[in-house]
Structure 1
Amino acid sequence: MTLKYTPEHQWLRVDDAAAGIATVGITIHAQDALGDIVYVRCPDVGQVIAKDAIAAVIESVKTAADVFMPASGEIVETNASALAANPALLNTDPMGAGWIFKVRLSDPSQLETLLDEADYLALTRAL
């Protein structure tokens, strides 16, 4: 399992390297900054989204935030039902049950541009 991060505080976990399927969500740092999350708009299954394009939107009591696509690909599954029923999953378990969508990566080499855990931790310590 490969876990990568973006400077915009999203994570991407490659769950099935052979199929090129990865799960995407926000980091603990992101949910801390957002505060109480009240709504999540997930992308549509089948949608093809380019790296760095807006893939989802999160609304909290404080603000709204875009979730950017960490790597290009096709959305194959979303967590829309669970997040609609309980958007606070992004606060209570952002790296687990609060995942946002799964993507079939179209260019796995883009993962090389993402941060590993040590680099991401260094980034958040600097904030």
Structure 2
Amino acid sequence: MPELTSGGVHYSFEAVGLASAAEQSFQMLRPGGTATIIGMIPFGEKISLDGFSFLRERKIQGSSMGSNRFRVDMPRYVDMYLAGKLDLDSMVSGTTTLDDINQAYETLKKGEVARQLITFG
């Protein structure tokens, strides 16, 4: 990646919840860059980072739900989606029913899908 960006990126974001993506997010930083982990990496899963990389003043940080203000932001997101200003549909990698929720959860844990939508009815 450094060759594509002339030494790495200033900021990177991991948003799918995979340890390998978090590691890659950190590895693609230029000196002084910051990686923000947004995705929910499974509980107990570890990421591995080369200690020398920290000597280049790279930083990694987490974010809980994008540091949003749920009561304020969520109604705005809903309005934006309904107005066609926020494309959420392209972010859904699969659909499932409530009857198949256990299988859907297993495919999510295996990393086979990123986001599944539960359909009712």
TM-score range, shorter chain: under 0.3
Please give the TM-score of this superposition, normalised by the length of structure 1: 0.22
> Based on CA coordinates, which of the two structures has the bigger radius of gyration?
2
* Alignment TM-score, normalising by the size of structure 2: 0.22
Answer 1 or 2: which has greater helix percent. Answer: 2
